[in-house]
Copies of this chain bind each other. A is one copy, B any other.
Amino acid sequence: MTSEENPAEMAPTTADLPVLKVALLGCGVVGSSVARMLVDNADDLASRVGARLELIGIAVRRPDRPRPDVPVDPSLFTADADTLVRGADIVIEVIGGIDPARELILTAMQHGASVVTANKALLAEDGPTLYAAAGEHGVDLYYEAAVAGAIPIVRPMRESLVGDDVQRVLGIVNGTTNFVLDKMDSTGAGFAETVEQAQSLGYAEADPTADVEGFDAAAKAAILASLAFHTRVSIDDVHREGITEVTAADIQAARDMDAVVKLLAICELVRDESGAPSGVSVRVHPAMIARSHPLASVRDAYNAVFVEAAAAGELMFYGKGAGGDPTSSAVLGDVVAVARHRLAGGHGPTESAYADLPVVDMGQATTRYHISLAVADRPGVLAQVASAFAEHGVSIETVRQRVLGEGDERASLVIVTHRAPDSALAATVDALTGLDTVDAVVSWMRVEGA
């Protein structure tokens, strides 16, 4: 029998394909998953790329530490990341943080490597430097895993929606805070005890600051806004409020108006009076959102990004925003893309910042407020309260008044406004606090997604 008659000998093999050298920086939860997928899926990846991806080294702080969950030759572990990146075609950076990640990425690019990174902090702080280096050296910079883990959102923003005009992005991009707020909604419990529960279940870090104070979401907001509006936005431009002051009473107030509280990353195009784009608003804060909105049904630690574009209309992308394997899925998708470019020539999208719109102050952002007041139950109170809104140019959408109990001389007044500048809304709350008929501003929160 000749080889031509033997289908087994004719079967396609990936052994003869060209080789691309891959260096991995970091071997924590994400890095070890990336290493496993590179090894376990080697044949499939080779078929999809048209080249074998050879893992040439994994940079870690302690190369001698046993890592039984990473199925690679232990000699691949090295503490010398700098040397490692100089010999690679593709560098995967999953160390996180600013330094030494930035220097290693720049060194890798100087030596001709394309870079795939999950590093939201670095991109949000200094993305333009990375882009400039990628452009200078003709290599790729990909970072799907930096925003919303496994959910394809960076590529859709950079490529799928690039022929359209994005108007607004509303993202649930932090799983820890979504878990906490969702549990507060379903159990009625307070913030502190719910964070403890999240910690015991592994959904929150021992020090949850980066999540609950909104730093993580703010970095992702900066990245999304940059892509959506073709404008440089850094994390320092992002107005940030966390969820530490969200109370069980706030959650109940949301329930009463058939809404939920979510920590939202919001990126909005601001227009001048002629309708032309004049700026962008980028902010992270808790907000009430109607239960009928697609984002309201995002439960547990899931992430979702809701996009409104001029032609596409409303889109939503939903999935797991964190975890080793989901983040790896995004990393490996990027690795295949940049590997294909190494073989076929060309490169992926470069920085697009031509629109160069100013980032507006939070005070200029327009939003809606939900305000709950404790007031005296007597004639004229509502008129006085309504005047405070009118004086600040804030239009009221709904008012709900409720007497607290038989013979009680106080009432509860719940007001939801129309859209107005945040500064006008804040000034209204201040003015209400000073009214003698208002015992207390019990709670106030922004309302989004209308």
Q: How large is the interface on A (under 10, 10 to 19, 20 to 34, 35 or more residues)?
A: 35 or more
Contact (A313, B320) CB under 8 Å given A152-B156, A152-B160, A163-B45: yes
Partner of A333, one of B159, B332, B346: B159
Query: What 18 new A-B contacts, CB under 8 Å, besides A152-B160, A312-B325?
Result: A44-B355, A48-B162, A48-B163, A150-B313, A155-B155, A159-B333, A163-B332, A163-B334, A164-B333, A310-B325, A311-B326, A311-B328, A312-B320, A313-B319, A313-B323, A315-B318, A315-B319, A317-B317
Question: A349 near B: Cβ within 8 Å?
Answer: yes
Question: What would 24 A/B residue contacts be, using CB atoms closer than 8 Å?
Answer: A47-B354, A48-B230, A144-B160, A150-B313, A150-B315, A152-B160, A152-B315, A152-B317, A160-B330, A161-B329, A163-B331, A163-B334, A163-B335, A163-B336, A164-B333, A312-B319, A313-B319, A313-B326, A315-B317, A315-B318, A316-B316, A316-B318, A317-B318, A346-B346
Question: A314 near B: Cβ within 8 Å?
Answer: yes
Which B residues lie within 8 Å of A331 (CB)?
163
Which B residues lie within 8 Å of A48 (CB)?
162-163, 230, 352, 354
Nearest residue, chain B, Cβ from A154: B160
Q: 1/0 per residue A283-295: CB within 8 Å of B?
A: 0000000000010
A162 touching B336 by the CB < 8 A rule?
Answer: yes
> How close is A189's CB to chain B, nearest CB, in angstroms?
22
> How close is A349's CB to chain B, nearest CB, in angstroms?
7
Q: How far is the CA of A313 from the CA of B333 in the complex (A)?
A: 14
Question: A309 near B: Cβ within 8 Å?
Answer: yes
Q: 1/0 per residue A138-152: CB within 8 Å of B?
A: 000000100000111
Question: A380 near B: Cβ within 8 Å?
Answer: no
Q: How far is the CA of A159 from the CA of B116 in the complex (A)?
A: 14
Question: A344 near B: Cβ within 8 Å?
Answer: yes
Question: A12 near B: Cβ within 8 Å?
Answer: yes
Question: A187 near B: Cβ within 8 Å?
Answer: no
Partner of A325, one of B313, B337, B341, B344: B313
Q: How far is the CA of A336 from the CA of B294 in the complex (A)?
A: 29
Nearest residue, chain B, Cβ from A315: B319
Residues in A lying within 8 Å of B, measured CB to CB: 12, 33, 37, 41, 44-45, 47-48, 144, 150-152, 155-156, 159-165, 230, 294, 297, 309-320, 323, 325-326, 328-337, 340-341, 344-347, 349, 352, 354-355
Partner of A347, one of B33, B156, B159, B346: B346
> How close is A155's CB to chain B, nearest CB, in angstroms?
5
Q: How far is the CA of A346 from the CA of B340 in the complex (A)?
A: 9
Nearest residue, chain B, Cβ from A343: B346
Q: How far is the CA of A162 from the CA of B48 in the complex (A)?
A: 7
Q: How far is the CA of A160 from the CA of B142 in the complex (A)?
A: 11
Contact (A150, B319) CB under 8 Å given A47-B352, A163-B331: no
Nearest residue, chain B, Cβ from A53: B163
A312 touching B297 by the CB < 8 A rule?
Answer: no
Highest count of chain B CB atoms <10 Å: which of A162, A311, A325? A311
Which B residues lie within 8 Å of A315 (CB)?
150-152, 317-320
Q: How far is the CA of A313 from the CA of B332 in the complex (A)?
A: 14
Q: How far is the CA of A354 from the CA of B47 in the complex (A)?
A: 7
> How close is A166's CB to chain B, nearest CB, in angstroms?
10
Partner of A344, one of B164, B314, B334, B346: B346
> How close is A282's CB to chain B, nearest CB, in angstroms?
20
Q: How far is the CA of A352 from the CA of B46 in the complex (A)?
A: 11
